[in-house]
Structure formats: structure tokens, C-alpha cells
Amino acid sequence: MSKKAIIVIGGGLGGLSTGIYAQMNGYETTIYEKNPVPGGLAILIYTLFPYYVKKFLKDLISQDLLFYLISAF
Ligand SMILES: Cc1cc2nc3c(=O)[nH]c(=O)nc-3n(C[C@H](O)[C@H](O)[C@H](O)COP(=O)(O)OP(=O)(O)OC[C@H]3O[C@@H](n4cnc5c(N)ncnc54)[C@H](O)[C@@H]3O)c2cc1C
């Protein structure tokens, strides 16, 4: 049987979260984002609060969740 696949439209926090959990549950996941970088509204937050966003990413790495996020693209 072929692996189930999903497509997520939009790489904001909602789309990225969906991608992570779909990948973790065995779905072949593709995220389409119209902008050159993912993140959506959260990118605006990064420009305002870079320290907290970097800490969040470090936490993701320490929990091995960044792997799922990257492999979804
Ligand atoms: C200053 C600020 C502070 C915030 N603080 C908090 C907070 O403390 N806690 C909290 O819970 N929330 C907070 N939020 C809200 C939170 O950031 C948003 O609710 C969240 O980012 C929304 O994510 P989303 O994926 O639903 O939408 P978006 O982030 O808007 O992502 C949608 C994505 O879809 C893409 N897209 C749209 N149309 C298409 C298309 N046709 N094809 C491909 N891609 C497409 C867009 O480019 C975008 O990247 C804050 C927001 C702001 C602006």
C-alpha cells in the first residue's frame, strides 16, 4: 500500500504545526508557502522579539522537533 500524503497550503504557524504532526504520524507532507520564507505572521514577531524566537528554535532543536519541521519541506 502506498504511503498517505497531504499538502498544506501556507507555511505560517498553523501550517507548520500541521506539517510537523502529519509527518510525525507517518504522512508524506508538503507545505506550499507563497513567501520566500516560512513563518507567516510569526516572522513579524521575530523582527520585534528576536531573542525569544531564537530561544524557541533552540528548544525545538533540543526536543528533536526541528527535524520534523525541516523534513516537511
Ligand atoms: C505582533 C504579534 C504578536 C503575536 N503574539 C502572539 C502570542 O503571544 N501568542 C499567540 O498565540 N499568538 C500570537 N500572535 C498571533 C499568531 O502569530 C498568529 O495567530 C499565527 O501566527 C497565525 O498563524 P497562521 O498559520 O494561522 O496564519 P499566518 O501566520 O497568517 O500564516 C498563513 C501563511 O499562509 C501563506 N499563504 C496565504 N495564502 C497562500 C497561498 N495561496 N499559497 C501559499 N501560501 C499562502 C501566507 O504567506 C502565510 O505565511 C501574534 C501576532 C502578532 C502579529
**Residue range 2-38, pLDDT digits in tens:** 689 999 999 999 999 999 999 999 999 999 999 888 8
Listed in order, strand segments (DSSP E) in 33-70 are none
Structural domain boundaries in the chain:
5-71
| Residues 29 and 8: beta-carbon distance below 8 Å | yes
Residue 1, pLDDT > 60, answer no
For residue range 51-67, list pLDDT tens digits in order: 887 888 788 778 777 66
Q: Which residues line ligand 1 (CB under 6 A)?
A: 9-15, 32-35, 40-42, 44-45, 48
Question: Measured in angstroms, how far is the CA atom of residue 38 from the centroid of ligand 1?
Answer: 10
Question: Measured in angstroms, how far is the CA atom of residue 42 from the centroid of ligand 1?
Answer: 6
All three cell numbers of 45, joined, read 514577531
pLDDT band per the 50, 70, 90 thresholds, residue 68: low
Buried b (16+ CB within 10 A) or exposed e, 16-49: bebbbebbeeebebebebeeeebbbeeeeeeeee
